[in-house]
């Protein structure tokens, strides 16, 4: 059997006096599709750096196949010494790599190659780093959170690109759908030790829960045995001293085993401070429009958000999601139309940019707002240290400056602050960024139990499927369309993902290159009778479908319909799904025929 391309054996590493890795192992075979999962702070990124040869371990061995190539995507790329993004991307190429691939990837990722790396946003920096990492054709790709700061079109493009790579993949990501679609084996880093499941991420969580249940059962059995032995020591017959000594030794060994047993890290304890119930109508927007210069962000949007709704906003970066949130919540005035906030609405917001975080502030001071040592949760006072521990912060971190926290710790800190504010309306802008999978599970459970209303902006498809009751999608040119259900429901109704229409249009607009090899132009044809008839009649059909859709949406807008008339609710939901599908098909057919007509007449 051939040796693996990369093999880490018995890796040990201690940071700050506590062991981070203890006997960790990782083997990467040609063509592997691995995901590396574990809690924030468990050492995933550290292990990936050791695998990439960027960090030395305290113990263990690293074998790397001679002649093999490896590329590593860090969470925070270093652009120092590079004048442009193209220079940065080309620096990752080897002597035998395609010199044009770096520019091709930058363009596909929405960059020109001429950008100044110092002035890049978080999303642009991630795209430049991806272009540099993917430009070569290495034997192993090590990618640490490749979807961070990417929008949905970029994530779906990256997923397709990685599905076609020749080499092995090792991925760290919090994006469940991304991991489910790309991986065939799962490596779980848990309390310094590695476990491997030779199945994709889709089967990992059920397996992990089973392992933890077995550990808990074993710990319970050990506890019972210790209690029985202690009872014998206290109340048993004191004769037969040799046996007494042996039993005492055995009891000591049991207690030592209990002390040495690995404990599962604490779970985040999420509890939201709830205000009084809001009115039935939370947001009522009518004819809402907003433009910046010649660019329309929102055009004539009418929308109602009712108490208990979970509305997800999706779209490409720059589509105007944050602007729309600010319009709906009254933080930004529209150019036309109105957005009215309902009665008794108390809003708490989680800011994507984390602008509220002062790097010089301490963890405790940020959570209390400078108001002493107590936080009020659900009407009850709780000491800030206890509240910190609910979010997996250690007591000694109370005076730690925010600047020294990791990305995951900052995400938890922002979440803790948002949930401490009394609210019946949560506005969450990219809440999943930098959170581990276990914390994501708890956030989803908390939102499911939250009696108020939720407005969430997210690029996480799985999170939207689990949380959203409807999805508002940026269709371009300021148009926003609401679809019932989560992200997958939206794709089924719309017939495409968020970026699909733009990509499709680009491919239609792309003309074959002229040259000696180009085919002779074919004789132009005319529209057929059926095509002319469809082109003339489709606009009226689309208007009819839109009117029927509005009626179906009006029926489903009744929040008590499901409880009162479940059969009518199901019929209306099925009818709306069919209408949306028919409308999308009609719009696509009309657009195709209109472009064909322009081409033939041009």
Tell me which of 3.30.70.100, 3.30.300.130, 3.40.50.150, 3.40.50.300 is the CATH number of domain 281-494. 3.40.50.300
Phi, psi of 305 (to 5 degrees): -115, 120
Question: At CB < 8 A and 24+ separation, what contacts does 358-363 make?
Answer: 358/402, 359/401, 359/402, 359/403, 360/401, 360/402, 360/403, 361/401, 361/402, 362/398, 362/399, 362/400, 362/401, 362/402, 363/388, 363/393, 363/397, 363/398, 363/399, 363/400, 363/402, 363/405, 363/413
In the DSSP assignment, the letter for residue 93 is -
pLDDT at 169 > cutoff 80: yes
Average pLDDT over residues 220-225: 68
Q: Taking CA 595 as the corner, what is the angle to CA 549 and CA 503, rounded to the nearest 5 degrees?
A: 75
pLDDT over threshold 50, residue 338:
yes
pLDDT digits (tens, 9 = 90+) for 261-319: 444 455 555 556 555 667 788 999 999 999 998 889 999 999 999 988 999 999 888 88
pLDDT of the residue at 325: 92
pLDDT in tens, 433-487: 777 787 788 788 778 778 889 999 998 999 898 888 999 999 888 999 999 888 9
- For residues 536-554, average pLDDT: 85
Q: Comparing 6-206 with 526-601, is the CATH topology the same? A: no
Q: Which two tokens stand for residue 92?
A: 């990752």
* Domain 6-206 top-level CATH class: alpha beta
Query: What is the structure's pLDDT at 237?
Result: 46
The CATH architecture annotation of domain 526-601 reads Orthogonal Bundle (1.10)
H helices present in 482-565, as ranges: 487-494, 500-509, 529-556, 561-564
Give residue limits of the domains in the chain: 6-206, 216-260, 281-494, 526-601
Say what the pLDDT of residue 82 is: 93
> How many percent of the chain have pLDDT more than 70?
82
- Bigger pLDDT: 298 or 599? 298
Quick one: pLDDT at residue 151?
87
User: Which residues sit opposite 473 in a β-bridge?
Assistant: 314, 481
Per the CB < 8 A criterion, the answer to whether 459 and 152 are in contact is: yes
Average pLDDT over residues 21-25: 89
Place of tokens 């979010």: 391
């Amino acid at each position: 059997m051939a040796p693996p391309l990369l093999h880490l054996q018995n890796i040990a590493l201690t940071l700050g006096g506590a062991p981070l890795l203890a006997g960790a192992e990782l083997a990467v075979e040609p063509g592997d599709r691995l995901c590396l999962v574990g809690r924030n702070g468990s050492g995933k990124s550290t292990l990936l750096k050791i695998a990439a040869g960027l960090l030395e371990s305290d113990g263990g061995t690293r074998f790397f196949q001679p002649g093999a190539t490896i590329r590593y995507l860090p969470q925070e790329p270093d652009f120092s010494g590079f004048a442009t993004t193209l220079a940065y991307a080309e620096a990752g190429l080897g002597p035998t790599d395609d010199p044009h691939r770096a520019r091709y990837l930058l363009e596909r990722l929405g960059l020109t190659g001429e950008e100044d790396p110092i002035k890049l946003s978080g999303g642009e920096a991630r795209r430049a780093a991806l272009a540099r990492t993917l430009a070569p054709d290495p034997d192993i790709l090590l990618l640490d959170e490749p979807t961070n700061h990417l929008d949905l079109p970029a994530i779906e493009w990256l997923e397709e690109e990685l599905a076609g790579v020749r080499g092995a993949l090792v991925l760290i990501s919090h994006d469940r759908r991304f991991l489910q679609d790309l991986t065939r084996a799962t490596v779980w880093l848990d309390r310094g030790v590695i476990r491997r499941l030779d199945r994709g991420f889709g089967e990992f969580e059920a397996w992990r829960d089973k392992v933890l249940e077995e550990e808990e059962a074993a710990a319970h059995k050990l506890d019972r045995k210790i209690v029985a032995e202690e009872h014998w020591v206290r109340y048993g017959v004191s004769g037969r001293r040799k046996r007494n000594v042996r039993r005492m030794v055995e009891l000591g060994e049991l207690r030592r085993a209990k002390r040495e047993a690995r404990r599962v890290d604490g779970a985040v304890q999420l509890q939201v401070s709830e205000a009084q119930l809001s009115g039935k109508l939370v947001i009522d927007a009518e004819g809402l429009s907003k433009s910046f210069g010649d660019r329309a962000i929102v055009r004539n949007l009418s929308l109602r958000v009712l108490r208990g709704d979970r509305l997800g906003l999706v779209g490409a970066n720059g589509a105007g999601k944050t602007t729309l949130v600010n319009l709906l919540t009254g933080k930004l005035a529209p150019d036309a139309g109105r957005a009215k906030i309902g009665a008794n609405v108390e809003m708490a917001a989680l800011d994507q940019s984390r602008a509220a975080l002062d790097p010089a502030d301490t963890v405790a001071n940020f959570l209390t707002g400078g108001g002493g040592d107590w936080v009020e949760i659900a009407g009850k006072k709780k000491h800030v240290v206890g509240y910190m521990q609910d979010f997996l912060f250690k007591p000694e971190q109370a005076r730690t400056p925010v600047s020294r926290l990791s990305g995951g710790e900052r995400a938890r800190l922002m979440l803790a602050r948002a949930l401490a504010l009394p609210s019946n309306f949560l506005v969450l802008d990219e809440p999943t960024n930098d959170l581990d999978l276990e914390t994501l599970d708890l956030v989803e459970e908390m939102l499911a139990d939250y009696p108020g209303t939720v407005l969430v902006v997210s690029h996480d498809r799985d999170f939207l499927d689990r949380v959203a009751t409807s999805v508002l999608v940026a269709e371009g040119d300021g148009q926003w369309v609401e679809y019932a259900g989560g992200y997958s429901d939206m794709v089924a109704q719309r017939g495409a993902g968020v970026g699909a229409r733009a990509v499709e249009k680009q491919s239609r607009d792309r003309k074959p290159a002229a040259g000696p090899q180009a085919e002779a132009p074919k004789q132009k044809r005319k529209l057929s009778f059926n095509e002319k008839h469809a082109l003339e009649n489709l606009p009226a059909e689309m208007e009819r479908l839109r009117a029927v859709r509005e009626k179906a949406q009006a029926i489903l807008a009744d929040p008590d319909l499901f409880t009162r008339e479940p059969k009518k609710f199901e019929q209306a939901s099925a009818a709306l799904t069919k209408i949306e599908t028919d409308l999308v098909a009609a719009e696509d057919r009309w657009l195709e025929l209109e472009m064909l007509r322009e081409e033939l007449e041009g």
